[in-house]
Amino acid sequence: MKETALDKFLRYIKIDTQSNDKTGTTPSTKKQFDLANLLVKELKAIGLAEAEVDEHCYVMATLESNSEKSDLPTIGLLAHVDTSPEVSGANVKANIIENYQGADIPLPGDENVIIKVSENPKLKECIGHKIVTSDGTTLLGADNKAGVAAIMSAVEYLVNHPEIKHGKIRIGFTPDEEIGQGTKFFDIKKFGTDYAYTIDGELPGELNKETFSADSCTVTAKGRDIHPGSAKNIMVNSIRIISEFISRLPKDIAPETTEGYEPFIHPYVLEGSIAQSSIKMLFRDFDTKGLPKLKEIVEKTIAETKQVFPNAEIEMVVSETYRNMRDKLDENPIVLEKLWEASKRAGAEPFWSPIRGGTDGSRLTEMGLPTPNVYTGGQNFHSKTEWLSVNALNKTVDTIIELAKVWAE
């Protein structure tokens, strides 16, 4: 029987590929090789050339051109194999809902986890669809195994239908995208494409040519530990210092209070003891010039905290993560025009929408490879309430096939 994109997706989500930003290695977790090695095996089985995985868990393969034209550009298709470190991706149990009718979706593994229509307005667009969720004890893994499944299905279709003419297509699967390291060792020269697309978005129609510009920030408070029985005027409790700092961060520039093009500061990891406490934060702004302003806000907050704790020693370290890809993509309109046309032909009613996040394409575009982002059919990424429309996943497969056609014309 013909294997569907759903079949592939259900196979891939059973493999735990959660990344970890604390290891300092690439890949950050060796278990990402489990999926990477399987993908190489499957790519070879369907006849792709140069299918391999390197020591850093980057998978690359080639679908050779079958067109008589010799001057066609080489196109890349990319997705990442890792899942978010924020929620477990181990022992994922798929929950499949046939012919979804628009109600809230309670998840069978945890009665307290419910996908609510009130929080998921796009569910209304999926009435009648087949929906896949986890059982509520883990994330689903649609981010980004839906993208992986869509690419694998589309490429297999093109191999089995040689009457569809296309140029050379390169396939790439990356590790560690979820911890901002997806392109750390990505060899653009070896990949050898003129343009590329990440398949890492949401519902069909939504295309992405701009992302946040992003920096990461760590604030560390150093204290002084001593037995609490003799601590008066001696102990400096860094937990209290970092708590004061957090309480003073502006509430109106947080992810939970912003939308659209609004920037934010996002505390997301907190570690502490009396002697030392630290908090990791994300700076996000569509305007790269706005990132120093977010840094200034944190510097001001540190200064205010020191007024409350004059003996506090507080340090801040800021590092660049990625930049908005809009400017460089606007300089290469053909990569956007082809995607728009392919989406229309697939019946997806395309529109451009900013990503309140980032993709591997953000960094790749900055590195010189124009790489906009394409939908997968998933929603609620990084959470136990993640869900995927199978109908939308199939539309993604159709879009990739049309993309191959459009570039060959």
Q: pLDDT tens, 207-237?
A: 999 999 999 999 999 999 999 999 999 999 9
Per-residue pLDDT at 378: 97
Which sequence spans correspond to the domains of the chain?
A: 5-210+324-408, 213-321
* 82 classed as catalytic: yes
Q: How many residues does the chain have?
A: 409
Per-residue pLDDT at 358: 84
Q: Which among 110, 162, 163, 158 is positioned nearest to 133, based on CA atoms?
A: 110
The single residue of 16, 143, 156, 177 carrying the catalytic annotation is 177
Check pLDDT > 80 for residue 172: yes
Q: pLDDT tens, 344-364?
A: 999 999 999 999 988 999 999
Q: pLDDT tens, 245-264?
A: 999 999 999 999 999 999 99
CA distance 363 to 214: 10
pLDDT band, residue 1 (cuts 50/70/90): very low
CA distance 171 to 83: 19
Q: Quick one: three-class SS letters along the chain?
A: CCCCHHHHHHHHCCCCCECCCCCCCCCCCCCHHHHHHHHHHHHHHCCCEEEEECCCCCEEEEECCCCCCCCCCCEEEEEECCECCCCCCCCCCCEEECCCCCCCEECCCCCCCEECHHHCHHHHHHCCCCEEECCCCCCCCHHHHHHHHHHHHHHHHHHHCCCCCCCCEEEEEECCHHHCCCCCCCCHHHHCCCEEEEECCCCCCEEECCECEEEEEEEEEECECCCHHHCCCCCECHHHHHHHHHHHCCHHHCHHHCCCCCCEEEEEEEEECCCEEEEEEEEEECCHHHHHHHHHHHHHHHHHHHHHCCCCEEEEEEEEEECCCHHHHHCCHHHHHHHHHHHHHCCCCCEECCECCCCHHHHHHHHCCCCCEECCCEECCCCCCCEEEHHHHHHHHHHHHHHHHHHHC
The single residue of 16, 42, 82, 244 carrying the catalytic annotation is 82
Q: pLDDT tens, 76-131?
A: 999 999 999 999 999 999 999 999 999 999 999 999 999 999 999 999 999 999 99
Backbone angles phi, psi at 27, to 5 degrees: -75, 160
Residue range 23-44: average pLDDT?
98
Same fold, 5-210+324-408 and 213-321: no
Fold of 213-321: Alpha-Beta Plaits (3.30.70)
State the residue for tokens 């149990």.
Answer: 93
Q: What is the mean pLDDT of the chain?
A: 96
Per-residue pLDDT at 344: 98
Backbone angles phi, psi at 326, to 5 degrees: -55, -50
Token pair for 229:
């029985």
Fold of 5-210+324-408: Aminopeptidase (3.40.630)
Q: pLDDT tens, 301-332?
A: 999 999 999 988 999 999 998 899 998 999 99
Per-residue pLDDT at 2: 74
